[in-house]
Amino acid sequence: MENSREKYEVVIGLEVHAQMLTKTKAYSNDVNEFGAHPNTNVSVVSLGHPGTLPVMNKKTIENAIKLGLACHSTIASNQYFARKNYFYPDLPKGYQITQDKTPICTGGYLVVKDDQGNYKNVGITRIHMEEDAGKSIHDVDVFDTLVDLNRAGVPLLEIVSEPDIRSSQEAYNYVTEVRKLVRYLDICDGNMEEGSLRCDANISVRLVGAQEFGTKVEVKNMNSIRNVQRAIEFEITRQIEVLEQGGVVSQETRGFDALKGSTISMRSKEAANDYRYFPEPDLQPLFVDEPQIEAVRSEMPALPRELYLKYTETFGLSEYDATNLVDNKFIALYFEEILTQTKHIKTAANFLMGEVKGYLNQQAIEITEFPIQPTIIAELVNLIEAGKISYSIASNKVFPALFENSNKSVLEVATLLNVIQDSDEDSISNYIQQVITSNPTEVQRYIAGEKQLVGFLMGQLMKVSQGKADPKQANPMLRKMLDELS
């Protein structure tokens, strides 16, 4: 099995559905919120009563344009909506309003890391607007299926990728990028566990060098990015096994069982649905013009990819630091705030990713709940860089004390703690004199040639000064005074 795997190339295309964070639903004024009491955000429109008419939610158009611009897509000027007919047990209209022939965005790409850690472009086929269905609940009532229609009509963006993805790890990275992007753009909360971001994976394998793609299988029902990866891994192995045994992969839709880590057939190609798409007669065609696109563009926030490039190329931070900083939108925003008050980018990044993130992890809180303002962290960084406090004192003493002294400046807190570094020459030579007097043996050995003992003597000096001597200044002074003794 292991060697046969190398004979095959994996081909994956992903369809991601993102529930939009709008106040109201896609085509009605019903409230769009997660976790409300069942069937409370439901009017006659969501119930599909005869005679009710959909009304386009303008915010969804803006969101779609935002995402399209972020993916370098082309935004269509003329669009219309379509009805996708189907027996939806939890969509009372009996059809979904979607964009079939005229998606709002076409083309474009997302930059994603491959297995070797190199960046590649994964093409975007289309992004279109549509609505969610309600939720059938099978596990509350023993005898009946219950339905919650709060989700019926919630606006969705469907993002369809080209079959450009070549491994389960790349798929993992792609979904992570999509989630990061919708969060930066504030159009979806990206929560896969609650189903606000969902992913269907299309997977096929072919012999390396083959021209044609293999038959694809679509896998649904993954509730985490990790499970998307697991489902794909299972499918790759299964499909290769089928082919190696001389069989053919049948085109079908499969579901993922997270407990077993396996996929199970749900329906085959022969049972494919005929959706009988036709133009939605109750909604006006949609026109998007250049000024409208420019208005959205002018309000776009900084995006993770741009920030990453700025941090690595302009600021010279490591790939690792830059990746971690942009990983979470609010960490990146916090970092940007720090940088408005300090020029010392590297120290700021170290302090944020080390001390601040350590605190957040320990307290299990998000940066948005962190009580210390970015300007305070900037002040701390500036004190370190000015040689007023050492990095380790800043981290071990001053930082923890900031929490109880929110009304004081960092300098005041450091003064109160008596940790301001001594860079006064007289007091430093005073410390050095004390060290020389109390360590005669080590001093003699140093003079006799054991120059490495300067390290030990520096340690003694830091002890005598209670960590307050500025080492950058004290070290050359110590050497000079020792050498004068020889």
Smallest distance from ligand ADP to CB 202, Å: 3
Here the contacts of 457-465 (C-beta below 8 Å, separation 24 or greater) are: 457/482, 460/435, 461/431, 461/432, 461/435, 464/431, 464/434, 464/435, 465/422, 465/427, 465/428, 465/431
Interacting residues with ligand ADP (CB under 6 A)? 11-15, 160-163, 202-204, 213-214, 216
Residues 6+ apart with CB under 8 A from 88: 94, 95, 96, 133
Strand partners, 267: 253
Smallest distance from ligand ADP to CB 43, Å: 32
Among residues 11 and 31, whose Cβ is nearest to ligand ADP? 11
Smallest distance from ligand ADP to CB 161, Å: 5
Among residues 136 and 273, whose Cβ is nearest to ligand ADP? 273
- Residue nearest ligand ADP, CB atom distance: 13
Measuring CA to CA, which residue among 172, 176, 169, 167 is closest to residue 8? 167
What is the C-alpha separation between 375 and 227, in angstroms, rounded? 40
Collapsing DSSP to helix, strand or coil, 357 comes out as helix
Among residues 162 and 257, whose Cβ is nearest to ligand ADP? 162
Smallest distance from ligand ADP to CB 229, Å: 16
Residues 6+ apart with CB under 8 A from 174: 14, 110, 112, 122, 161, 165
What's the half-sphere exposure (Cβ side, CA atoms, 13 Å) at 466?
6
Smallest distance from ligand ADP to CB 232, Å: 10
Smallest distance from ligand ADP to CB 187, Å: 20
Among residues 112 and 203, whose Cβ is nearest to ligand ADP? 203
Among residues 200 and 422, whose Cβ is nearest to ligand ADP? 200
CB count within 10 Å of CB 109 equals 16
Among residues 12 and 482, whose Cβ is nearest to ligand ADP? 12
Smallest distance from ligand ADP to CB 11, Å: 4
Among residues 13 and 374, whose Cβ is nearest to ligand ADP? 13
> Could you give the C-alpha distances from 394 to 318, 384, 414, 475, in angstroms and in order?
23, 7, 8, 20
393, 467 in Cβ contact below 8 A?
A: yes
Smallest distance from ligand ADP to CB 191, Å: 22
Among residues 214 and 304, whose Cβ is nearest to ligand ADP? 214
Q: Exposed (0-12), middle (13-18) or buried (19+): which is 217, by Cβ within 10 Å? A: buried
Report how far Cα 402 is from the mean position of its chain's Cα atoms. 29
